[in-house]
Amino acid sequence: MKKFLIILGSIFLALIVLGALGIGLVAVRGNALDKESKAYADEAIPAIVTTWVDKALLDRASPEFNQATTAVQVYQMFRAWESGLGHLQKCEPAQGQSLMSVTTYGGKTISARYTAKARFERGEATIRLVLVKHGDKWQIAKFDVSSPQLVPPISV
C-alpha cells in the first residue's frame, strides 16, 4: 500500500509541475500576443482613419472580413465616416488584449479586441477593431467607428 501511495503521489506531483509549466508558457505566449496585436492595432488604426482611403482597411482585411463585407460597402462607410467626422486630429493608443481559444476539434483561434479614442475635425469617435491571427500575420476581422456625429451609427 505504501508503494502504491508513493507512486500515486509522484504522478500527482508530476501533473502539478507540468500544469504549472503549461500555465507559465501560456502566460508568456499571451504577453507576446498582446504586444504583437497592440503594435498592429496602433499602426493600423491611424493608417486607416488618417486618410479615409478604404484600401488601407481592405489591404489589412481578414478572409472573415472579406466574406462578411463587400468592397462597395467599405467604400460607402468610409465616405460616410469622412463626411461626418472629417480628418483625423489625434488618435490615442489602442486599449485591449488578445485571446487564445481552442475549438472542440483541437484547432485554435488567436484574436484580439481593441478600442481607440480619436479626435477628428468635427468631433470625437471611438474606433473598435477585432483582429485575427492567421499564421504569423494579424488581420482585421471587424472595424467600427462610432460617434455622436454619425447618425445612425455605422459599422463594417
Domain map of the chain by residue range? 2-155
Q: What's the CA angle centered on 85, arms 154 and 39, to 5 degrees? A: 80
The yes-or-no verdict on residue 124 having pLDDT over 50 is: yes
| Amino acid letter, residue 52 | W
pLDDT for the residue numbered 32: 84
Cis peptide preceding 153, ω within 30 of 0: no
pLDDT for the residue numbered 51: 87
123 confidence band (pLDDT: 50, 70, 90) = very high
Name the grid cell of 103.
Answer: 475549438
pLDDT for the residue numbered 25: 47
pLDDT digits (tens, 9 = 90+) for 2-36: 776 677 666 765 556 555 444 544 444 557 899 99
Q: Does the 2-155 domain belong in CATH 3.10.450.590?
A: yes
Cα distance between residue 24 and residue 133, in whole Å: 22
How many C-beta neighbours within 10 Å does residue 133 have?
21
pLDDT digits (tens, 9 = 90+) for 64-98: 999 999 999 999 999 999 999 999 999 999 999 99
Segment 102-110 mean pLDDT: 74
